[in-house]
Structure 1
Amino acid sequence: MLQRFIELGEGYSDLYELIEIAKSNQNRLHYLIRLDSTIDGQKVTSLVVALKPVEPGNYMPLYICREGIPQPEWKENKRFTLFETISNELNQEIVQLEVKPSTSFNEKTLYYQYIIGVLRMNHFIPPLKF
């Protein structure tokens, strides 16, 4: 099982693309995920749309808008409200996790490996298969 993050941006206009990915792939939707972090005292959120793996191929894409959206409890914002709206429309709960920020890692690749590990440990994505 290959799981890979596909970064769309930081959650500005690219958030609309993330929402459209969720809508157009309703039959493959695995989880909607909210990853909370703190960067330089700012509480930020990454939003993720995880799709079920394709068959054949065992490839599981995780589309992400990384750390550009203020946490709604810290600062109310329309961008997170849009994600909540699509969650309600698709009858899909948003999974919320507190994670280290990407700035704690020297490379984005290491950050995404860390997030995949967190998601696997919490059984939100399947384990690695060879």
Structure 2
Amino acid sequence: MIQRFIELGEGYSDLYELLELAKENQHRLQHMMALHTQIEKKEVTSLVVVLKPTDPGKFQALYVCREGIPNPNYLPNKRFDLFAQTAEEIGKKVHELSVKPSTIFHEKELFYQHLIGILRLNHYLVPLQ
């Protein structure tokens, strides 16, 4: 099983692509997630759409808008509201987790490997097979 983050951007206009991915792939949609963190004393959120693995191929895509949206628990905002509204419309809950920021990792790929490990441990993703 290959699980990989696919970064769309930081959540400005690319947020609309993330929402379309969720709507158009409802049959494959597994989770919608908000990953909260702090960067330079700023509370930010990454929004993630997790699709079910392909069959055949066993590839699981996690589409992300990384750390560009204000954390809605500290600063309510329309971008998060759109994400939550889309989740509600398609019958999903937004799962929220607090994670370390990408800035503490030397490479973005290490950050995404760290997140995959956290999501596996919390049973949002299937374990490595």
The answer, yes or no, to whether TM exceeds 0.5 is yes
**Partner amino acid, structure 2, of 1:29:** L
1:21: which partner in 2? 21
Give the 3-state SS of the residue equivalent to 2:27 in structure 1. Answer: helix
Give the 3-state SS of the residue equivalent to 1:8 in structure 2. Answer: strand
2:99: which partner in 1? 99
Q: How large is the RMSD of aligned CA atoms in angstroms?
A: 0.5
Residue 17 of structure 1 and its aligned partner are, at CA, apart by 0.1
Runs (5+) with no aligned partner, structure 1: none
With structure 1 as the length reference, what TM-score do the two structures score? 0.98
With structure 2 as the length reference, what TM-score do the two structures score? 0.99
1:86: which partner in 2? 86
Q: Distance in 2 between matches of 1:59 and 1:21?
A: 16
1:62: which partner in 2? 62
List structure 1 segments (4+ residues) > 2 angstroms apart after TM superposition: none
Q: Distance in 2 between matches of 1:100 and 1:15?
A: 22
2:75: which partner in 1? 75
Residue 76 of structure 1 and its aligned partner are, at CA, apart by 1.4
Q: Distance in 1 between matches of 2:127 and 2:31?
A: 15
Q: How many percent of aligned residue pairs carry the same amino acid?
A: 57
Residue 73 of structure 1 and its aligned partner are, at CA, apart by 1.7
Q: Distance in 1 between matches of 2:7 and 2:115?
A: 13
User: How many residues are matched?
Assistant: 129
**Partner amino acid, structure 1, of 2:57:** G
2:113: which partner in 1? 113
Residue 74 of structure 1 and its aligned partner are, at CA, apart by 1.1
